[in-house]
A and B are shown apart, each in its own frame.
Chain A
Amino acid sequence: MSTQKEEMTQTKKVTLKAFRFNAETDYLPYYKTYEMEVGKDELILDLLNRIKWEHDGSFSYRRSCRHGICGACGIKVNGKAVLSCKQNAMELVELFGDELVFEPQSKKRAIKDMIIDKGDFWEKHAAVKPFVEADIDPHPKSESLMTPAQVEQFLDADYCIQCGSCHYACPVIEVNEDYLGPAAFAAAYRFTIDPRDEAGRERLETTAELGQGVWDCVKCFECAEACPKDVNPIEKITKLHNMQFEHHVAERNVATKHAEGFVRSINKFGYLDEQDIVLYSEGLGVVKHLSEAFKMIKAGKVHPFDFQKKKMPRSKNLNEIQKLIEISKTNEL
């Protein structure tokens, strides 16, 4: 009994460093430190509340449902995206030590403390038509039924709560303002795979466009790591890539030829022909790689005059690979 009581009252002294900024009055952001005894069952949201209620009433953050479903309370703790109301504080102390740094999801979008301007997120999310578009009878005689297999295909994409964790963990969002981002792509997948929907082709075209679409994904898996609902956005990005080929939406460009070129190369050598894939994908655009090509030649890394590909390695039992490509290939460009 006593050990149980001890466990109940067990606390740890934790230093909280919170990002503070008021866009209306502050020139630069600063960090303010708060020390508190943290209990083993406290959530990050509890600590945000305690900063506000016990230390500084002006401290600002978004919160609403407290049940991990409204998506309002996403912040970053020591660089890790969390949903404040779902994340146990002591777990993060175990991960990062007893100094926790609270920051908004995107510092450059900060309005006040943890609150950011999420306008870019909503704009991009809306751009993929995140709803079922269908010409349906407003007074149907029966429900629109879905088979379990069709529901399986959603792959948890409908668990997304638009919290922005993945969007602001994505490095491409930071350097390419056109890029739609992982949450928009997960939504694009979720509604395109929906058997009731009729806007799939439009979404596939939107997400196929270079600059804004899935081909600009760097495949860093930050989105998969950040998502508090295990939506795994990059899995949906891969699905969209494949669907662009399946539905013949993919146009021949440097990115699609690069993806398709792997089959061409593996079929010839088993390995990827690194020189050929650049030539094949770029076409005449290959000239922009000349300075790097010269550096590689100088270092002895590539062999430009090996026209017969004598230096190119070949997998043993290449015929097996060729046979498997022949019988397993599902897509064409």
Chain B
Amino acid sequence: MSKLKYALYTGCTARESTPELLSSTLAVAKKLDIELVLLDEASCCGASHLQDFDEFLSLVLNARNICYAEKLGLPMVTICNTCQLNTVMTKERLDHDPEMRAKVNEKLAEVGLEYKGTSSVRHFLYALIDDYGLENIREKVEKPLSSLNIAPFYGCHNIRPSHIHYKHNMPQPDVEVSEGGGEVAYDTEELMSKYTHENPYVPTSLDRLIEALEGKPVEYESKNKCCGFHVDLQAPETSNALSGTALVDAIDNNADVMVTPCPLCQLNMDLKQDSAGKQLGRDIDLPVLHMPQMIALALGCSPAEIGLKYNVTKATELLDRV
């Protein structure tokens, strides 16, 4: 296998309140000999909120982020579901809407950039599974997670809407996009094709990753549900009801720990266990790991790199359990 190399779009959270996400991602890449080039020029993706305020501005800023991966000639990987969705929604729009692409490029030209559509954009989860391979990850496991029941929490923005995700998250051929983009092709596919890579009703990628690390995936109904993060300020009761229900569901199915590829889900589920528990009338105490933290744990990365001390719901004892 030739060495894998990607442009890493970190998003904001990994550089601010979840430094453990960035350190564990870099540690996993180092262990697996994957080269990640940090896109330090990139801005916030808008997290779906900027999109509510000013859709056009969000397209321009996200296109700029992709431009920097294109300049490096590298495929982009993300480590946040919401970054992933907002970036591919921009890409999808610009690749299929020549008029909008021209409008965006007119703005980008003012700062000497041009969106070309030559870099693919995938979540790191799928780059690991489809490019590196689960069997190859399994071979690198130093500390099997066999003592842990791990509840996979997929996070909405990596599985829905499937008609966008399957095109971008699946292994990418070398992209050749003609001048002005291609044809509009929304929703013309057969039902099954959009579920072939990841079925949002029965997702399997995280389960398979947990198995490759020799952990026991927990089967529970809430694994593909919403955590409510995006209304946490204006509707905390909704957010608590959704995150609390998922956490309790995982606990009732004997989870020792939850894992998610989305730092926004992670923050909401990790930080708000007391308030969610209070609302639901249940004690909730379940460590919630970022996907790269779980992998780093199994690959025997250093405690500093795994960064469990940054998890709000105590997770440090996991180090002794593997």
Contact = CB atoms under 8 A, between A and B. Distances in A.
Interface of A: 78-80, 88, 91, 94-96, 171-172, 175-176, 210-211, 215-222, 224-225, 230, 232, 234, 238-239, 241-242, 245, 253-256, 258-260, 262-263, 265-266, 270-272, 274, 278, 281-282, 288, 291-292, 295-296, 298-302, 312-313, 315-317, 320-321, 323-325, 327-331, 333
Given A216-B231, A324-B64, 15 more contacts: A78-B202, A216-B234, A220-B160, A220-B225, A270-B43, A272-B47, A274-B13, A278-B233, A281-B233, A296-B17, A299-B310, A300-B309, A312-B16, A324-B61, A328-B107
B200 to A, nearest CB: 6
A218 B310 contact: no
A42 to B, nearest CB: 15
B271 A218 contact: no
Contact of B271 (A234, A256, A265, A296): A296
B195 interface: yes
Nearest to B160: A221
A80 B156 contact: no
A301 B310 CA distance: 6
29 contacts: A78-B201, A88-B191, A171-B242, A172-B231, A176-B235, A210-B234, A210-B235, A218-B228, A219-B230, A220-B225, A222-B160, A225-B200, A234-B161, A242-B52, A258-B233, A259-B49, A260-B53, A262-B50, A266-B44, A266-B46, A274-B17, A281-B233, A291-B274, A313-B16, A321-B64, A323-B110, A324-B60, A324-B111, A330-B57
B199 interface: yes
Contact of A216 (B15, B111, B225, B238): B238
Contacts of A270: 42-44
B238 A172 contact: yes
B53 A263 contact: yes
Interface string B32-49: 000000001111101111
Given A241-B53, A324-B108, A232 B161 contact: yes
B90 interface: no
Contacts of B200: 225
B40 A315 contact: yes
B201 A254 contact: no
Interface of B: 12-13, 15-19, 40-44, 46-57, 60-61, 64, 107-108, 110-111, 113, 156-157, 160-162, 186-187, 191-192, 195, 199-202, 225-226, 228-231, 233-239, 241-242, 271-272, 274-275, 309-312
Contacts, number: 207
A222 B192 CA distance: 17
Contacts of A91: 191-192
A222 B161 CA distance: 8
B57 A325 contact: yes
A211 B142 CA distance: 49
B110 A324 contact: yes
Contacts of B40: 315-316
Contact of A242 (B53, B157, B238): B53
Given A265-B44, A330-B54, A258 B161 contact: no
Contact of A272 (B44, B55, B157, B309): B44
Given A224-B161, A302-B17, A323-B111, A296 B44 contact: no
A128 B156 CA distance: 27
Contacts of B309: 299-300
